[in-house]
Copies of this chain bind each other. A is one copy, B any other.
Amino acid sequence: MKDMIEDHRVIAEPWYRPLADEVALFEAAYAARMPVMLKGPTGCGKTRFVEHMAWRLGKPLVTVACNEDMTASDLVGRFLLDASGTRWQDGPLAFAARHGAICYLDEIVEARQDTTVVIHPLTDGRRVLPLEKKGELLKAHPDFHLVISYNPGYQSLMKDLKQSTKQRFGALDFSWPEARVEVEIVAHEAGVETATAEKLVDIGARARNLKGHGLDEGVSTRMLVHAGQLIARGVAPIAACTMAITRPITDDMDMRDALDAAVATFF
């Protein structure tokens, strides 16, 4: 088990371009072991940020992609059959709490609202996790830290965190990086020249203006990187933008025309 936790250590520094003071705030929250909530749209770098902080703090990182089929047992653990009967298998939350990892519950708003209450005893002064099925009261390792991510754009009556959950976290807002920074990111990640990256970032800015006028969500930095990667492999820029940006984001014909026009303006 000790060895298994090592698999979760982030060996190489994940490249991360800070947007503001988020690194220092996260470090202070970690020092106080105050659980942290990362808010922001899809594809803006929340996951990368957590990986970077885990590397920077030298702690293993256990990531859980939350989904509504996830039960409390999936987080906490369960008994498995073995040659000699049953064996307890820590779920990722118990595993992280026991071994002092950072536990990152990605898109927690997807999980059933009430499943999330199992994290409550880990997020106040108690810092315990009752493994009720095992009859163990797991006391969290001093290094353990809990991070969740949350996309306010998905927020709805049915799917929102409860106030009693929200109030247990400090929150950091994430958004699209400003143009200068995003160019740097796209050029670095896609391996294209700055001139190309600038055009892609311009296209992204245009597309984000369409949000609310028919697009559910703006174009993410990830999509711009995708287009850059295709260009870097020799695909014609317009075809690359079509495949990586306009086609995935919408099936609405008018919206596609508007996006195609934005692409044609720059390439």
Which A residues are within 8 Å of any B CB, using their own CB?
A: 1, 4, 7-8, 14, 21, 24-25, 28-29, 31-32, 34, 37, 39, 42-43, 47-48, 51, 62-72, 74, 78-86, 89-92, 95, 106-107, 110, 112, 114-115, 117-118, 120-121, 124-126, 130, 132-133, 135-137, 151-155, 162-164, 166-173, 216-217, 219-220, 222-223, 226, 229-230, 232-235, 239, 243-244, 247-249, 251
Q: Are A173 and B247 in contact (CB under 8 A)?
A: yes
In terms of DSSP, what is the predominant structure of the interface of chain A? mixed
Option from B42, B79, B118 in Cβ contact (under 8 Å) with A67: B118
- Give Cα A25 to B118, complex, Å: 30
Asked whether B8 lies within 8 Å of A137 as measured between CB atoms, the reply is yes
Listed by A's residue number, 26 A-B pairs whose Cβ atoms lie within 8 Å are A4-B135, A4-B136, A7-B137, A24-B235, A28-B233, A29-B243, A31-B233, A32-B232, A42-B164, A43-B168, A47-B124, A63-B130, A67-B114, A69-B71, A69-B114, A74-B133, A79-B80, A81-B81, A89-B135, A95-B135, A107-B164, A163-B216, A167-B217, A167-B249, A169-B248, A172-B243
